[in-house]
Amino acid sequence: MKPQTDLFTWIKDRNEKHCNWAISYLQNKGYNITWISISQTGISESILNALSSLSEDKKTLISRDMKNAWRQKQTRDNRKSTKSFNFVIDTVTNKRLDDLAKVHNLPRNKTIERLINNESDCVKSEQEELKASRSALRSLQNEHKNLKDAIKDSTNISEQNTQLQNELEETKAELQKFKDLHLQAQKKHTNNKRRNNKNKRR
């Protein structure tokens, strides 16, 4: 049998949430325990003092009941942040899920969460890259337009026009480069959407 002094050491003084729960639990059972007594002696000794009139067997029983009640509370709290799903997948996908779970040393539900979160992060990253590409493309298009207007309206000498023409050609090359990158990003985004839609149909 566990020594009486160790019956409630599983309740930690530094865990305010745990202590508040223990106080409320015992007060609801009719035992007199407060934060004042805890601050003086610590949670474990305070509980033993509050139960001093009880037999050792009764104290042991209360400790066991409190542990069970705390576990049930933690289970309920965990369920509030999760959602249950019931769906059917084919045997091949199920086998792959099991294999991935073993590789990552995770249960099946955590493996599914990992896959979904990783795919979501990937999609967000692609969207951000596509957005940045579009912004850069607009910027280059504006710069290209400004250079064309500068050449059109220029009354400078031939050397200045030649310099502007060179800058225009450089901008055209940069614009084409960004157009190619933008096209690649669009294709990548489209392929991922098709792949996701295909996976959903499976």
Q: What is the mean pLDDT of each run of 10 residues along the chain (202 residues)?
A: 70 82 88 76 83 85 90 80 76 90 88 88 86 87 84 64 78 80 79 68 58
What torsion, rounded to 10 degrees, do the Cα atoms 16, 22, 26, 31 define?
-50
Question: What is the value of pTM for the model shown?
Answer: 0.40
pLDDT at 196: 67
pLDDT 10s digits, 103-155? 988 888 888 888 888 888 888 888 888 888 888 888 888 888 888 887 776 65
Q: How far is CA 76 from CA 23, 55, 84, 85, 87, in A?
A: 19, 32, 13, 17, 23
pLDDT at 199: 62
Q: How far is CA 73 from CA 41, 69, 78, 79, 106, in A?
A: 26, 6, 9, 10, 24
- Tokens 């294709």 belong to residue: 187
Domain positions in the chain:
4-80, 94-201
